[in-house]
Amino acid sequence: MVRATVDKVFLNCARYIHKHQRLEDSPYAPKALGEQPFPTWKRIDMLQDHLPSADQGVAASEGGTITMEDYQDALNAGES
């Protein structure tokens, strides 16, 4: 975890912010009742001992643990 404190903010103009149109909701956004998919990063094998107790062991029921390389592949494919 990284904790940051913002002590100065520079508000930039919006000249490079492009207009967009939402095509669909993200499958990772919480639904109306708050349910959402288990985050892929919480399946990374080397992080298992560092997850909150509520997330311990959940990776097994979500397809098993993955390597950091598997996670990078999922990121590159837009699946995380």
Predicted confidence (pLDDT) per residue in 30-78, tens digit: 888 988 899 999 999 999 999 999 999 999 999 999 999 999 999 999 8
CA distance 33 to 51: 24
**pLDDT at residue number 40:** 94
**Structural domain count of the chain:** 1
Q: For residue 66, what are the β-bridge partners? A: 44
In a domain, 17, yes or no: no
Q: Which amino acid is at 56?
A: Q
Instruction: Answer yes or no: is 8 within a domain.
Output: no
In angstroms, the CA 24 to CA 33 distance is 19
Residue 44 in domain: yes
Mean pLDDT value of segment 2-21: 86
Residue position matching structure tokens 């499958």: 27
In a domain, 75, yes or no: yes
Instruction: Assess if residue 70 is contained within a domain.
Output: yes
- Spatial contact of 45 and 66, defined as CB atoms under 8 Å apart: yes
Residue 64 has a CB neighbour count (10 Å cut-off) of 9
Q: Which domain holds residue 43?
A: 38-50+60-80
